[in-house]
Amino acid sequence: MNGIAPGVKALYREAIKDYAARLADWPPPEVVTHRAEGFNPHCGDALETALHCREGRIAALGFDSESCVVCHASAALMAQVLQGIAVETVPKALESFENALRGHIEWPEVFDEASCLEPVRDFPSRIQCALLPWHTLAMCFHPQPTTACTEEEIPE
């Protein structure tokens, strides 16, 4: 697989697991203004993202998931990084994260915490796991939210 040594693969797995184990849960906010569900058919990840937006900002962001460690870690990092940002900047943030994860750009400083997911780019099947929370967040702002799926493009 991509010429990656087995030891490196194990280190990647252990690092993500260790990080995810230390992450706090991000329960959905008490008052929800936006909500969407996401599903990754390749891994079986299922995620619900819920937001409370106030005065044009994400005042609270939480999620509930039955997912792999990569998806859960990405969701928790997303909640941590995007808490308090202006809603109008969400599409650009999602684009930047996806481009960084795919290796098209360097990790933006704003996503410094999420850079622990960088090794995921060496495991193409896991990129979808890491992107699911972000695609689901995008669906929260869609005029007619449906279930986000890693097989589809993020709606405009």
pLDDT tens, residue by residue, 13-69:
677 767 766 776 788 999 999 999 999 998 899 999 999 999 999 999 999 999 988
pLDDT tier at 154 (50, 70, 90 boundaries)?
very low
3-state class (DSSP) for residue 141: coil
* For range 74-91, the mean pLDDT: 92
- Which of residues 88 and 152 earns the better pLDDT score? 88
Domains of the chain, each with CATH number or no CATH: 6-149 (3.90.1010.10)
User: What 3 state SS string does the chain have?
Assistant: CCCCCHHHHHHHHHHHHHHHHHCCCCCCCCCCCEEEEEEECCCCEEEEEEEEEECCEEEEEEEEEECCHHHHHHHHHHHHHHCCCEHHHHHHHHHHHHHHHCCCCCCCHHHHHHHHHHHHHHCHHHHHHHHHHHHHHHHHCCCCCCCEECCCCCCC
